[in-house]
Amino acid sequence: MTDYSYENTFTVEGGDFESAGKTSIEIKKVLKKLAITNETLRRAAIAVYEAELNIISYAKKGAIDLAVSDDKILISVADQGPGIEDIELAMQEGYSTATDQIREMGFGAGMGLHNIKSCADTLDISSEVNKGTHLSIVINRRGSGNDESGLSD
């Protein structure tokens, strides 16, 4: 059993395009406070952001469970929504079912799940059509000091 020193749930409302990204910025702040930095922080923040955008874009609502231990970050995302019929197809770069509203925000080019996968050490997706989708994202924490480009001030 992994011993998580931090656990919290963040809820996200589907269709709330104005707020898209708010929860991710909040989660990034939490991770920073937990002394997660550099590439690990960047990968976790991007994965959460893409997952949040997916909830807002496609689901009725969803929850992001964040759990942090000494050696890993576990991000579980569960939504109530249309589900994904063909997960393999949805994972392909460029495959998208996005609406105009999503594209106007600068998203919806079929990169979301692919980006999450490249940020994760492991990604498990399960989905049931007309019920929802569940993502389990694990990001291993590595030693700091491997980032060549932080903010300069």
Partner 1 sequence: MTLRDIVEILDAKVLVGEDHLHRSVKTAFSADLMSDVLAFAKSGSLIITGLTTLQVVRTASILDAIGLVIVRGKIPSKETLDLAGDLDIPIMSTRYILFETSGRLYANGIVGCVEKIGGMNCGK
User: What secondary structure does DSSP assign to 37-94, as a single string?
Assistant: -HHHHHHHHHHHHHHHHHHHHH-SEEEEEEEE-SSEEEEEEEEESS--S-HHHHHSTT
Count of residues interacting with partner 1 (CB under 8 A)? 34
- Per-residue x/- mask for partner 1, residues 50 to 89, rule CB under 8 A? x---------------------------------------
- The DSSP output letter for 14 is T
Q: How far is the CB of 6 from partner 1 (least distance, A)?
A: 19
Residues, the chain, total? 153
Using CB under 8 A as the criterion, which residues of the chain lie in contact with partner 1 when the complex forms? 18, 20-22, 24-25, 28, 38-39, 42-43, 45-46, 49-50, 104-109, 111-112, 114-115, 118-119, 121, 147, 149-153
